[in-house]
Amino acid sequence: MNIFKVINPPQSAWDSLIERPSEQDSDIEEGVRDILRNVQERGDAALREYEKRFDGASLSGGFKVSEEEIAEAGDLVPEDLKHAIATAYSNILKFHIAQLPKEIRVKTSLGVTCVQKSVPINKVGLYVPGGRAPLFSTVLMLCIPAKVAGCEDIILCTPPSAEGKANPCIIYAATLCGMKNIYKLGGAQAIAAMAHGTESITRRDKIFGPGNRYVMKAKQIVGMSQVAIDMPAGPSEVMVLADETSQPSFVAADFLSQDEHGPDSQSILVCSSEIIAKAVESEINRQMTKLSRQETIAKSLMHSKIIVLPNRDAIARFANEYAPEHLIISMQEPWAMAEKIYAAGSIFIGNYSPESAGDYASGTNHTLPTSRWARSYSALGVESFMRRMTIQELSKEGLEGIGGAIVAMALAEGLDAHAAAVKARIEK
Amino acid sequence: MNIFKVINPPQSAWDSLIERPSEQDSDIEEGVRDILRNVQERGDAALREYEKRFDGASLSGGFKVSEEEIAEAGDLVPEDLKHAIATAYSNILKFHIAQLPKEIRVKTSLGVTCVQKSVPINKVGLYVPGGRAPLFSTVLMLCIPAKVAGCEDIILCTPPSAEGKANPCIIYAATLCGMKNIYKLGGAQAIAAMAHGTESITRRDKIFGPGNRYVMKAKQIVGMSQVAIDMPAGPSEVMVLADETSQPSFVAADFLSQDEHGPDSQSILVCSSEIIAKAVESEINRQMTKLSRQETIAKSLMHSKIIVLPNRDAIARFANEYAPEHLIISMQEPWAMAEKIYAAGSIFIGNYSPESAGDYASGTNHTLPTSRWARSYSALGVESFMRRMTIQELSKEGLEGIGGAIVAMALAEGLDAHAAAVKARIEK
């Protein structure tokens, strides 16, 4: 099939080129609000009804995955997959331990000490979708940073099958990460439970993880007033930057790996010549026939794009404007190119760093901002599970030293009680 | 006046004790949405109309503060206030420079390098309220971290007077911080302009700063889908932890300095005995008579509380449950107490660290999470103006090393194109 191609588009066309496939989700808002309200009011009883209705699961015995289910899951996961998960676990753990922030302590004036300290968020909730593909890799990407951050009270929610079971790979990965509290809860009702609390689930301080549009809408709503959320979310996307040093067969493979995620995924190739554009396109058509999710891929290729730009600066500017979730730099001097990028979720350098490496096992987190949110939101990491708090201590001399400035500013802002709080101490 | 007091409340009463004065803002939502829509559709013309209507200002000459206005502002600010601002500037700058995050680089496996790098957010928008009190201290608290972070494109919006002028102290403080782009725009229309862009204002990636309920509601709405925001906001609040080593007159002064902010401010004293509670209460009544904002203070004292708890552990647990914006620890071994705290915006240690020190000049940022958001949100700092991005580079050997794990996990998740992207490279 033909992929949309544009050669040296004028700046005026960029706005339309960076647009994502539009998502209409206002139609589901009312339904999601109903679920949120119902769970808030009726707690576990509402959760049981929704699990019956949406997942077909009868959970009269409770939502928590039992010790027996954990043991059973361990038996069901094949050994070679356990080895693969162990490799991923080790790399993700190493990279995330290195992210632990250090305390900062500065004497700003004589007798005035300021401290910035990062502390773990106390109660966190992780959501891992089930459905067609059990995303046990997401379990690692959420549980490892939460554990490294030192969060005390971590729960994981994941939808059960119609038999009332959570996916064994998900249970296995969570248990490997030291998780004790895994709940069989999915969809907007799981988000409602974590945001508002029920008899079984204690209300969370922050909620993390991907999900379908109902989950996303629920997170968006509770995030406005109830509980912090990790980031806004949209369909997955990749941008590949390529020049004559790239391998068209590799680029094509990265394109297709993105497109198999879902019909609303988007892949963008930005390259320096039409020759590369055509070589990649023909590779895509060749490789596509060998893949199992061809129908999904064909749909998402409909909104994929190939864009030829005249030079590296224009390519970097376009990448920053688009702000891709994943950015593969298959170019000469890829690190110099990466230096120009400030708006991407995660960057993949050179010909041997496919996006799937970061999705699973290189060590970086695969929870990343989509839909241009990489202009302002961070990749998920240990700090996403912590909060920065400041502390200050002034000695009497310290307060005497800066007290005059505080009083002058407070009075100029019309706040004389602020000034009085200094005077009460200095005059004492 | 009598302040609400409770002695050793049972755990079951805590939920009601941590409640904030309720805010009803659904009544303004429709009006704010109108403003947002109108500015998005009609740009500068709508901004001019709203500035006329809400601030009484005719801004036919444009919104930007001119060179002449900047020079004029410099002349209008008294010298002693300039000195005070310089002291504050220096301390805030020192503490924020120390916050600049370092790059993290880890070899997770042979031939697999992962990097976490913090980069400045490109286009940021700062909002500084005008109104009764010109909050020029907020200018320092927003501009300094934005500049230290290295944001390239920073604008500041602040409402004009009816004469079409921005407050000179605000202009002076912004200019001191190196700001070039100051706009006379206030209210929800300023937020709309920064979120959507107009002819005069380029759309922002993230918006910061306090404001009245219209500003807050507008930030909340655009934050859902359009642009990142710093944090949710509510009325200011302080909690003082006191024992027999505290000075009742200091505690009372801190209480009152919080209460003068507005009728919806809240002050909470948590202490270890009824004797301290009574001593503080009588000091509040004594000091109050000397202050200019007595009416405001009397209103906010109506929802202030004094709570006596039996021991330090209970006090720390209550503080974390309440999650105060400001937490003053006037107790024996205050640092040991601070170690127990994970949910506060900024902590003030000992008898000589009044909240007003942090509001103006100690060096910490005064933009802090309120309304229990200190359970999950950070104090504003340099990192609030940056985003964390990850980078990975795999050599061919690196990919060969972890490729098996990637392929096994991808296939188990049903994603064969992800596996193919690895195989295409290894088999080459």
Nearest-CA residue of chain B relative to A151?
B342
Query: Residue B240 above 90 pLDDT?
Result: yes
Q: Which residues of A touch B99 (CB under 8 A)?
A: 104, 116
Overall size of chain B counted in residues = 428
Complex prediction ipTM? 0.97
Residue A131: per-residue pLDDT: 67
Phi-psi region of A203 (alpha: psi -120 to 50; beta: other; left: phi over 0): beta
Average pLDDT on A200-219 reads: 95
Q: Do domains A26-101+120-229 and A234-376 have the same CATH topology?
A: yes
| CB proximity B192 to A under 8 Å | no
Nearest-CA residue of chain B relative to A385?
B376
Cα distances (Å, whole numbers) of residue A187 to A131, A169, A341: 11, 19, 35
Q: Is B326 a catalytic residue?
A: yes
Q: Do A361 and B388 touch (CB under 8 A)?
A: no
Question: Distance, in angstroms, between B102 CA and closest chain A CA?
Answer: 10
Residue B428: per-residue pLDDT: 64
Residue B132: per-residue pLDDT: 65
Residue A73: per-residue pLDDT: 95
**Single-letter code of the amino acid located at B238:** V
Chain-centroid distance of CA A403 in Å reads 44
Residue A422: per-residue pLDDT: 97
Average pLDDT on A109-133 reads: 93
Q: Do A376 and B406 touch (CB under 8 A)?
A: no
Q: Do A346 and B290 touch (CB under 8 A)?
A: no
Q: Which residues of A touch B378 (CB under 8 A)?
A: 387-389
Query: Residue B91 above 80 pLDDT?
Result: yes
Average pLDDT on B270-298 reads: 93
Q: Do B416 and A293 touch (CB under 8 A)?
A: yes
Interface test with A, best of B23, B226, B391 (most A CBs within 10 A): B391
| CB proximity B410 to A under 8 Å | yes
Residue A26: per-residue pLDDT: 77
Q: Give me chain B's average pLDDT, please.
A: 95
Label residues A208-228 b or e (16+ Cβ within 10 Å = b): bbbbebbbbbbbbbbbeebbb
Average pLDDT on B208-230 reads: 93
Q: Do A99 and B99 touch (CB under 8 A)?
A: no
User: Which residues of A are known to be catalytic?
Assistant: 325-326
Q: Give me chain A's average pLDDT, please.
A: 95
| CB proximity B286 to A under 8 Å | no
Count other C-beta atoms under 10 Å from residue B337's C-beta: 21
| Closest CB from B88, B122, B391 relative to A349 | B391
Give residue B23's pLDDT band: very low, low, confident or very high (50, 70, 90): low
pLDDT in tens, A25-65: 778 999 999 999 999 999 999 999 999 999 999 998 899 99
Query: Residue A339 above 80 pLDDT?
Result: yes
Query: Residue B65 above 80 pLDDT?
Result: yes
Q: Do B253 and A417 touch (CB under 8 A)?
A: yes
Residue B216: per-residue pLDDT: 93
How is chain B split into domains, by residue range? Answer: 26-101+120-229, 234-376, 395-427
Nearest-CA residue of chain A relative to B101?
A101
Question: Distance, in angstroms, between B334 CA and closest chain A CA?
Answer: 10
Interface test with B, best of A92, A118, A394 (most B CBs within 10 A): A394
Between CA B239 and CA B322 the distance in angstroms is 9
Average pLDDT on A239-255 reads: 96
Of the options 3.40.50.1980, 3.20.20.140, 3.40.50.1820, 3.40.718.10, the CATH number for the domain spanning A26-101+120-229:
3.40.50.1980
Residue B225: per-residue pLDDT: 85
Query: Residue A92 above 70 pLDDT?
Result: yes
Give the tokens for residue A41: 């009011």
B278: Cβ contacts below 8 Å, ≥ 6 apart: none
Between CA B209 and CA B225 the distance in angstroms is 18
pLDDT in tens, B26-57: 789 999 999 999 999 999 999 999 999 999 99
Give residue A17's pLDDT band: very low, low, confident or very high (50, 70, 90): very high
Pick the closest to residue B63 from B73, B75, B55, B71 (CA basis): B55
Residue B106: per-residue pLDDT: 98
Residue B427: per-residue pLDDT: 82
SS (HEC) of chain B? CCCEEEECCCHHHHHHHCCCCCCCCHHHHHHHHHHHHHHHHHCHHHHHHHHHHHHCCCCCCCCECCHHHHHHHHHHCCHHHHHHHHHHHHHHHHHHHCCCCCCEEEEEECCEEEEEEEEECCEEEEECCCCCCCCHHHHHHHHHHHHHHCCCEEEEEECCCCCCCCCHHHHHHHHHCCCCCEEECCHHHHHHHHHHCCCCCCCCCEEECCCCHHHHHHHHHHHHHCCEECCCCCCCEEEEEECCCCCHHHHHHHHHHHHCCCCCCEEEEEECCHHHHHHHHHHHHHHHCCCCCHHHHHHHHCCCEEEECCCHHHHHHHHHHHCCCEEEEECCCHHHHHHCCCCCCEEEECCCCCHHHHHHCCCCCCCCCCCCHHHCCCCCCHHHHEEEEEEEEECHHHHHHHHHHHHHHHHHCCCHHHHHHHHHHHCC
Contact predicate A195/A203, CB 8 Å: yes
| CB proximity A164 to B under 8 Å | no
Q: Do A137 and B378 touch (CB under 8 A)?
A: no
Q: Which residues of B touch A382 (CB under 8 A)?
A: none
Give residue A358's pLDDT band: very low, low, confident or very high (50, 70, 90): very high
| CB proximity B296 to A under 8 Å | no
Give residue A428's pLDDT band: very low, low, confident or very high (50, 70, 90): low
Question: Distance, in angstroms, between A32 CA and closest chain B CA?
Answer: 16
Of the options 1.20.1250.20, 3.10.20.520, 2.40.30.10, 3.40.50.1980, the CATH number for the domain spanning A234-376:
3.40.50.1980
Pick the closest to residue A231 from A203, A205, A210 (CA basis): A210
